[in-house]
Structure 1
Amino acid sequence: MRNIPLLLMLLLFCTVVDAQTILVKGKVTDTQKKAIAGVTVVIKGTSIFTQTRNDGAYQIYSTYGDTLVFTSTLGMTESIVVSNKYLDSPKNYLLIDVELAIDNQIFNLSLEELMSIKITTASNISEKLNDAPATIIVLTQKQILDLGYIKLSDILDDLPGMDIVKTYGDTYYKNYWRGFRNTVGTAYLLMVDGMLQNQLWTNTDQIMAAIPISNIERVEVVYGPASSVYGANAIMGVINVLTKKTSDADGTHFNFQSFRSINNYFTGDYNVFYQRNNIRFSVTGRVEDGDVNEFINPNDFYWTRDEHYSNSALWGDVVNNKNLGGLFSSPERNRALDFRLYIDDLELGVNFYNLSTGYGTVYPADRVQPVNRWPQTEFSIYSRYSKQLTSKINSRTLFRFRKSDITNDGLFIEAYNTTNNSLGDSTIAHVLVGSGESVRGIDFSSWSTYNRSVAAFQDFDVSLNDMISFNFGLKYESKNLERNYNAVYSDYVAPSVLINASLLYPPITQNVDRYNNRVFIIDEAAYFQGRLRLNRSNALNIGARYDYNSQYGGSSTLRMGYVGSFKSLTAKLLYGQAYQEPTMRNLYGGWSGSGSNENLKPELSNTIEASAIYTKGKISALASAYRVMITNTIVGDNQSASNLGERIISGLDLHLRTQISQSFIKNLSAWIYYSAILSEKEKKFDTDGNLTGSGIIGDLAHSKLYFGTTADIGKHLTINFRGRFIGERETVITNPIRTIPSYLTIDGNIQVRDVIYKGLNIEVKFINLTNTVYYHPGIREADSGESPGTWDSNGLGWSGSHGWYNSKLPQPRFFTMVGITLNL
C-alpha cells in the first residue's frame, strides 16, 4: 500500500489506436421527432467523440465493426454497430439516424424504459439502473424542481428509510438512515460528481443544504453498504449529486431561480453554461438569506419560547442587543460558487460551499442564544481526466485538493451554573458566592477547526465481453486535520453585572497551524468490483476493498450480489460489509461530560438485503427486506469513549409508482413509499461505560409513509402535492419526554410555465399546508425536558432545563414562497 503514489503515476500513461475510417452522418431526434442538440456520440473503446448540433445532426469518422454510443443528458443511451447496411451508396457515407429520450420527456417513458437509465454510483461504473447490485432511487432535475424543494437537503424528507431530525442549527439536521442513530457524523456518503463532500473533521453531510440546485442533472440515492467501492463511512448508502456536463445546443445557456417569502426569506440559484464544440464552461451560484423564525413558531416548545431568550434575569444585557440575543432568531446566510471547465476529456473545477446558520432549536433558551453564527465551509480544486485506453479499457484519473473548515468568525453565547466548592466565600462570575452555592454566568466563545487534504484517484473500467466486466482502482490521500477545536472564551460574568454585553466578545483565533494540535493521516486504498453475467437473465457481482489508515490501521470489506432479470421481474440478493471511521471529534475533541479516545477503532457492519422489483408498462413496485448488524459501535461516557457497542436493525421498504396520461393531463405520476423498522436493538451502558443490558436504539419511527403526485396539465401548468406520515417515535433513554407523537404533513408546489415568453415560469411553494404542529426528537442526549425553571435560594444559581440539548424540536408551520424560474 505504501507504493500507491508511485503506482498512480505509472498508470496515468495512455495510448490511442488508429484505424481506417469511413464517414458516418445522421440526426438524433427525441420521441416526438424533434432534433436534440448536445447528444454525445462516442466510438466505444476510443476517446473519439462528437456532439450533435442545434439541428440534431452529427458526423464522425468510424470503421466497420465499431460501436457508436449515443448518450442523452438524461443518460438514455443507444448503441449501434457500424455496418454497410447504413451505406448511402450515391454519397459513399453511412447514414445512421437515432431516437432518444430527453429529460423533459421522462414521463413519456414507461417505467420499464426508465429502468434502462444509466447510473454510476452503485459500483463506480456506468450500468443500467435495474442491473445495479443495490436498491436505488434516481431524482432528475425536473423531478426536483417539480417537487418544489427550497434547498437540496429537503429531498431527504421524502426518501424512504430515513428518520430525519431538523434543528436548523450547528447540527443542521441528522439523518438516521435505516436506523443508524449516532451523535457525531453520518453513516453514508454525500458526493458531488463522485467527489466526497462529508466534512473532514466531523464526517457530517450538512453542507448539502448549501449545494446549488440549478446545475443538477440528477441525484442518485444508493441504499446499502458501499465501503467496498468508496471506503469508510458508507454503512447505509451513498447520495451522489450529478451535475450537468453538456447542453442541448451550442451557445450560452442561463438557468435562474429566485424565491421569496412574505417576510423576505430569499433564495437565488443560477447556472450559466457555455458550450462550443468540445469546450464547455459552467458557472453556478447560490444565495440563501432568511431566518428560521419565519417558519418555526418558538412557542410550540417550552424551551424555545421568547420569554426565556428575552429574560434579562437570565441573560443580562445580552437581551438588549438584537445581534446577540433577546428573541428566537436563527439567521441563515448560505452561499455557493461552482466553476467547471471541460476540454474534450479533461475537466477542471473549483467548488465553494458555505453553510452559515444560527443555532436553530438545538439548545434550550436558558442555555444558548441561537441568533449567532456557526459557519461551515467546503472548498475544493480538482482535475479529472478520462480516456479510452483500448476498446475494452477506460481510465479515469482524479486529483483533488480540499479544505473543510469551521471558521473563526462564529460566536457561541452560553450560560451555565458554577458551584463554589471552596470552604469559604469566593468571587465567581464577578459576584460573591457562598460555600457550596452556585451562580449562573454567561460567556462568549468562538470555535474553529481548519482541515485540508490532497488526494489522487486512479480507476479503470474493463469490459472483456458481454459476460464479464469489472473495474478496479487505487486511492492515495494525505490529510492535515485539527486535533481538537480551536476555542477561545470571554470572561465569565453573572447576568446581574453584565451591563454591556458587546464588551464580552472573545479574542479572534488565528487561522494558523499549531503543530501540537494537528493530526497528519495517510489514507491508501485498492478496490475491485466485478460482474459475471451467467446468461441473459442472471448475473453475479463481487467486490472487495482494502483501506489502510495511518491512524487506526487496515480495513477490508467485501460485497457480493446476485441480480436476476425475468421479463417484468428483477430479483436481487445482496450482502455487504462496511465500516465507520471514528471522527476527529470522537478521537480528540472531547470535553467534560462528553469523552473522546484516540485509540478508537472503526465501527463494522454486515448487511443482508433481498429485494424484488416488478415493472410493467406504467406500474413499478419494489419490496426490499434488510438486516444490518453493527459491531464495535462507539460508546461515549463522561470521561472517554470506547468500541463496546453492538446494534442490530431489521427493516422493510415497499415502493409503488405509476404513470397515467389523460387528454387534459399530459403526464400524471404518483408514488407511495412505506418504510418499516421491524426490530431495533443495541447494548446499553451507564455514564461510566458499564454494560447495563440491551434496549431500543431510540428516536426511530417504526412506520413511515411517503406519498405524492405530480401532474402536467396542458402545456403550461404543473401541480405537485406530496405528504408524509411519520409514526410515533420512542426516544432515547436520556430524553425525559419518552415519545414524540406521530404526524402527517402535506406540501405542495404549483408552476405556471412560459408566462409572457418561453422559459419564464412563475412558481408557488407551500410547506405544511394544514399548519400541523409537529415535532422531531432532539439530537444527542435530548435531555432538556420541558418543566419550568427556578432560581436557587441565593438568587444567583438557576435550575432550568435539565440538559444541553432540547428534548423535542418544533418543526415548520405553514410557510409559502413565491418566485420565478428563467431558462434561456
Structure 2
Amino acid sequence: MKKRLHSLFHFLYVGVICCISLSAFASTDEDLTFLMSLSLEQLGDVEIESASFRSEKQSEAPATAIVITEQQIKDRGYEFFEDLLRDIPGFDLVQVNGTYRSVFSQRGTFSGENNRSLILIDGIVESNMLEGSLLHGGQYSLHNVKKVEIIYGPASALYGANAFGGIISITTNHDSQEDYIDYHYGQGTFSSRYHKLQINKKISDVKVHISAHTYDTDGVTFENRGENYSNSYVHNAYSLEARVSTNAWLWGYSRYNRPSGLGTFSNVSGFEQTGTEPPGPGLLQSDFNNEKPSLWHMVSETAFVKYKQKISDRLTFSSKLFTRKSSIALDSYSYNYIPSTAQLERNSFGHESDTTGAEIRLDYTPNGDWDFVGGVQWERSDIERGYRTKFADGTDITSDGVRFNRISQVSREDRISDVYKNIALFGQFRKHLKFSIPTRLLLGARYDYNNQYGRDFNYGETFNPRLGLVSELSPSTTMKFLYGTAYRAPTSFDRFTTTEVRRANPDLSPERLTTVEMGVNHRWSDNIYIEANIYRNNISNTIISNVDTGIPIPNNTAVNFSENQNAGEGHSTGAEFRLNAVFNNFDIFMNGTWQRASQDNQYGTTNAWPNIAEFKANGGVTWRYNQDVSLYIVENWVGKRSTSLTSPLSEVDAYA
C-alpha cells in the first residue's frame, strides 16, 4: 500500500504541471485560431530542415523525426534539456546530478559522456570540444526555443563527425515578428530558483532578439555518500544569447556558464571528514575548508554569422562563419583522499579549446522532379590534450581537524594542445521516381579529411553514404526505407589522457555505425497520427578504455600499461511506436520503445549494453483553456536495465 501511495504521489507531484505564461502580445481573440492550428504542428505536418538541409514535412522527411514546438514546451512545462528527452521515444537517461545533469543516449548507443548525438543550436554545433560531449545542466534553458527537431539514426552524411545516433537541432526565437518582453521566475525543491528573460524588437527589416536566464540549486542529497552530501549543486549558472537578423543575414552570440559539483558522475567512493569511510581512496562529498567539495566550471561561447540569398528561382546560396570556445574554467577543483598519506589533496584542473569554421552551400531546384544541395566545409581546431592538472606543492594545511595538501592552481602557461584541420565535401540528391506508388529517392554522401598539424595524419579520411526511399502508399500513409552510416571521431581526451598506469594512444580510429531502418506513418482522420519504426544498428571500432597492452610499467613488472583501443563492437535492434491525437482544446500522446543492445569487448565477451532499458513507455494529456493557460499530466515507465561493470549495482529495477 505504501509503495502504491508513493507512486501516486510521484505521479501527481512530478507529472502534473500547470503552466501559466504571461505574454505581452497574447489576446483572447487569438485563442480559437491558436487551438485550431495545433493539429498541424502535432500530427506530423510541421516543416523541418534538419533531415536533408531543406524544408519538408516531418512525415515525408527521409528520416525518423520528431518536432517539439514552442507551444508544446510551454504547455508541458519543459524547463531544461532532459525534461524534453524524457517524453521522447528511443532515449535512455541516467541522472548524474553533477558533471552532467544527465547522461543520455539515442537508440542504444550509450557512451556515458553524451558524445554520440550531435547537438545544434541555430545550426551551430554545441559541445565540449575536448570530449565531444554536451555538458548540459542548468545553463541550457528552453524558454527562448521556437522548436526542437530530433532526427533519429546516423547523420554523418549531412553533419560529419559525431552525428552518430542522431541529431538534436534547436532553433531559437530569433525570427519572431512580434515586439515583446517576456519574464519568468520560478522556485522549486532543493532551493532551486531561476530567472528567465526574453526581449524581442523589430525595427523595419531588422529583428533583434536577446534572451538570458540564471539558475541555482543546492541539488539532490545522496545520503548514501554521506549525511552532509553537498556535491550536486549548481550555483550561478547562466545563459546569454543575442541574435540580430534581416531577410538574408543572421548574426549570433551565445555564452553558457555552469559552475557545479562533480555529483555522482564518478563511481569512486565518498570520503567524510570523520575518516571512517572509505578505507580506500575517495572523493570528498561535503563542504570543507569553507568551500564546496568540488567545482566543475563549464563555459561555452559561440559567435557566428549566416547568410542566405536566393540567386534565382532555381538556385539558393547560403554560407556561415563561426567560432567556438569551450572550457572547464581554471578555478575548477576536487578534494581526493589519499590512504597512503591519510590526508586529502585539493586537485585543481581545467582545459580550454577553440574551433573556427566556415561553410558554403548551394541548393539547386530546376523543377519539381529533382533537386540537389551540396557544399564544402572547413574547420580549424586547437584542442587541449586532456585536463590541465597540478601536483602537490608540499604545503600541508589543517582544516576542520583534517590534514590536506593544497595543489597549485593551474595556469594558461601549462597548456599543451594540438591543432587540427577538417575539410569536408557533401551533397544530397532527391528525385521523384515514376513508380505506380509515388516515391522519392534520396542519395547523399559526405567526405571528410581530418589532419593534425605536425603529423602526417590524424585519422585521415572518412566517407559516409546515405540512402532513403519515401513512398506515399496513400494520401494518409507514408512508408520509409532508410540506410545510413556515421562516425564518432576519437577526441583529444580519448587519445591523450594518461594516468600512472594508462598511456596515451594517439592512433585511435573513428567509431563507426551502420543503420538499416524501416518506418510507416499514418494519419487516421484529421485528429490522429500514428508512427512505427524498426531499426538495426551495427557499431564497430568502439573505443574501449584501459585495455591491457602487455607492456610492463617500469619498476613495476607485476602491472602492465593500459590504453584506450578500438577493441569493441556493438549491436542494437529496436522498435518505436508513437501516437498523437488532437481534439479541439486537448491532445494526447503515447510512446513505446523496445530495444535490445549488446556489446563485445576485446576478450570476445558479449554483454548487455549498460544503461539501456529493453522496454520504455510514456503517455501524456494536455488540456488548454487558451493560449496562456494549460494543464499537463504525464507518466513515464522505464523497464529494468543493466549498469556498467564498475557500478556497485548490477542492474536497476523498473520504475515509473
Q: Same fold (TM over 0.5)?
A: yes
**Corresponding residue of 1:669:** 587
Q: Using the alignment, how far apart are the partners of 1:168 and 1:103 within structure 2?
A: 41
In the TM superposition, what whole-angstrom CA distance separates every residue of 1:608-635 from its partner, at most 9, and x where no partner exists? 0000001121111111000000111111
In the TM superposition, what whole-angstrom CA distance separates every residue of 1:490-516 from its partner, at most 9, and x where no partner exists? 457999x666779854332223474xx
Distance 1:281 1:713, change over 3 A: closer
TM-score where L is the length of structure 2: 0.85
In the TM superposition, what whole-angstrom CA distance separates every residue of 1:570-601 from its partner, at most 9, and x where no partner exists? 10000001001111110101324555411000
**Corresponding residue of 1:13:** none
- The structural deviation recorded for 1:209 is 4.5
**Corresponding residue of 1:655:** 578
- The structural deviation recorded for 1:195 is 0.6
In the alignment, which of 561, 568, 576 is matched to residue 645 of structure 1? 568
In the alignment, which of 496, 521, 526 is matched to residue 588 of structure 1? 496
Residue 518 of structure 1 aligns with an amino acid whose one-letter code is S
Distance 1:562 1:268, change over 3 A: same
**Corresponding residue of 2:535:** 626
Secondary structure (helix, strand or coil) at the match of 1:153 reads: helix
In the alignment, which of 310, 314, 324 is matched to residue 402 of structure 1? 324
Distance 1:715 1:230, change over 3 A: closer
The answer on 1:365 being equivalent to 2:270 is yes
**Corresponding residue of 2:251:** 348
**Corresponding residue of 2:359:** 457
**Corresponding residue of 1:279:** 206
Secondary structure (helix, strand or coil) at the match of 1:408 reads: strand
Secondary structure (helix, strand or coil) at the match of 1:211 reads: coil
**Corresponding residue of 1:425:** none
Residue 483 of structure 1 aligns with an amino acid whose one-letter code is R
In the TM superposition, what whole-angstrom CA distance separates every residue of 1:511-541 from its partner, at most 9, and x where no partner exists? 3474xx1101001101001110125821011
In the alignment, which of 280, 295, 298 is matched to residue 222 of structure 2? 298
In the TM superposition, what whole-angstrom CA distance separates every residue of 1:347-390 from its partner, at most 9, and x where no partner exists? 11111011221122234322223433101111111111111111
The answer on 1:615 being equivalent to 2:523 is yes
In the TM superposition, what whole-angstrom CA distance separates every residue of 1:702-729 from its partner, at most 9, and x where no partner exists? 0001111100136764110111100011
Alignment of 1:312-461 (within 5 A): 327=230, 330-363=233-266, 364-366=269-271, 367-370=282-285, 371=292, 372-418=294-340, 429=341, 440-461=342-363
**Corresponding residue of 1:821:** none
Secondary structure (helix, strand or coil) at the match of 1:542 reads: strand
- Indicate conservation of the 8 Å contact 2:238/2:256, yes or no: yes
The answer on 1:693 being equivalent to 2:576 is no
Q: Using the alignment, how far apart are the partners of 1:456 and 1:349 within structure 2?
A: 15
Q: Using the alignment, how far apart are the partners of 1:264 and 1:254 within structure 2?
A: 27
- The structural deviation recorded for 1:489 is 3.5
- Indicate conservation of the 8 Å contact 1:441/1:494, yes or no: no
In the TM superposition, what whole-angstrom CA distance separates every residue of 1:741-773 from its partner, at most 9, and x where no partner exists? 1101xxxxxxxxxxxxxxxxxxxxxxxxxxxxx
- Indicate conservation of the 8 Å contact 2:215/2:234, yes or no: no
Secondary structure (helix, strand or coil) at the match of 1:233 reads: coil
Q: Using the alignment, how far apart are the partners of 1:368 and 1:508 within structure 2?
A: 19
Distance 1:148 1:402, change over 3 A: same
Secondary structure (helix, strand or coil) at the match of 1:186 reads: coil
Q: Using the alignment, how far apart are the partners of 1:382 and 1:548 within structure 2?
A: 23
Q: Which runs of 5+ in 1 are unaligned?
A: 1-37, 39-53, 55-100, 310-326, 419-428, 430-439, 662-666, 686-690, 745-824
Residue 365 of structure 1 aligns with an amino acid whose one-letter code is G
Distance 1:377 1:538, change over 3 A: same
- Indicate conservation of the 8 Å contact 1:404/1:450, yes or no: yes
Q: Using the alignment, how far apart are the partners of 2:632 and 2:501 within structure 1?
A: 47
In the alignment, which of 410, 421, 436 is matched to residue 509 of structure 1? 410
The answer on 1:485 being equivalent to 2:485 is no
Q: Using the alignment, how far apart are the partners of 2:411 and 2:395 within structure 1?
A: 25
**Corresponding residue of 1:822:** none
Secondary structure (helix, strand or coil) at the match of 1:698 reads: coil
Secondary structure (helix, strand or coil) at the match of 1:403 reads: strand
**Corresponding residue of 1:29:** none
Moved more, 451-460 or 591-600: 591-600
In the TM superposition, what whole-angstrom CA distance separates every residue of 1:113-143 from its partner, at most 9, and x where no partner exists? 8433211111122222122111111011111
- Indicate conservation of the 8 Å contact 1:213/1:269, yes or no: no
- Indicate conservation of the 8 Å contact 1:728/1:740, yes or no: yes
In the TM superposition, what whole-angstrom CA distance separates every residue of 1:456-514 from its partner, at most 9, and x where no partner exists? 0111111111110121111000001101211113457999x666779854332223474
Secondary structure (helix, strand or coil) at the match of 2:390 reads: strand
Q: Using the alignment, how far apart are the partners of 2:389 and 2:356 within structure 1?
A: 26
- The structural deviation recorded for 1:545 is 0.4
- The structural deviation recorded for 1:106 is 6.0
Residue 316 of structure 2 aligns with an amino acid whose one-letter code is N
Q: Using the alignment, how far apart are the partners of 2:32 and 2:284 within structure 1?
A: 46
**Corresponding residue of 1:145:** 74
In the alignment, which of 737, 740, 756 is matched to residue 652 of structure 2? 740
The answer on 1:217 being equivalent to 2:129 is no
- The structural deviation recorded for 1:269 is 1.4
Distance 1:604 1:274, change over 3 A: same
In the alignment, which of 540, 543, 548 is matched to residue 441 of structure 2? 540
- The structural deviation recorded for 1:176 is 2.2
Q: Using the alignment, how far apart are the partners of 1:452 and 1:406 within structure 2?
A: 12
The answer on 1:718 being equivalent to 2:630 is yes
Q: Which has the higher strand share?
A: 2
Secondary structure (helix, strand or coil) at the match of 1:587 reads: helix
Distance 1:390 1:742, change over 3 A: same
Distance 1:248 1:170, change over 3 A: same
User: How many correspondences in the alignment?
Assistant: 588
Percent sequence identity over aligned pairs: 24
- The structural deviation recorded for 1:329 is 5.4
**Corresponding residue of 1:195:** 124
Distance 1:263 1:223, change over 3 A: closer
Residue 192 of structure 2 aligns with an amino acid whose one-letter code is Y
Look at both structures and tell me which one has the larger radius of gyration over its CA atoms. 1
- The structural deviation recorded for 1:268 is 1.2
Moved more, 518-527 or 500-509: 500-509
Secondary structure (helix, strand or coil) at the match of 1:651 reads: strand
Q: Using the alignment, how far apart are the partners of 1:122 and 1:572 within structure 2?
A: 13
- The structural deviation recorded for 1:445 is 0.9
In the TM superposition, what whole-angstrom CA distance separates every residue of 1:284-319 from its partner, at most 9, and x where no partner exists? 111001111xxx3423xx3x2316x5xxxxxxxxxx
**Corresponding residue of 1:554:** 461
**Corresponding residue of 1:432:** none
- The structural deviation recorded for 1:181 is 2.1
The answer on 1:680 being equivalent to 2:597 is yes
Secondary structure (helix, strand or coil) at the match of 2:386 reads: coil
In the alignment, which of 665, 681, 705 is matched to residue 617 of structure 2? 705
Q: Using the alignment, how far apart are the partners of 1:355 and 1:169 within structure 2?
A: 10
Distance 1:480 1:112, change over 3 A: closer
Distance 1:245 1:402, change over 3 A: same
Secondary structure (helix, strand or coil) at the match of 2:131 reads: coil
- Indicate conservation of the 8 Å contact 2:177/2:202, yes or no: no
The answer on 1:254 being equivalent to 2:175 is no
Alignment of 1:69-80 (within 5 A): none
Q: Using the alignment, how far apart are the partners of 2:41 and 2:146 within structure 1?
A: 21
Secondary structure (helix, strand or coil) at the match of 2:164 reads: coil
- Indicate conservation of the 8 Å contact 2:44/2:529, yes or no: no
- Indicate conservation of the 8 Å contact 2:244/2:252, yes or no: yes
Residue 526 of structure 1 aligns with an amino acid whose one-letter code is L
- Indicate conservation of the 8 Å contact 1:186/1:204, yes or no: yes
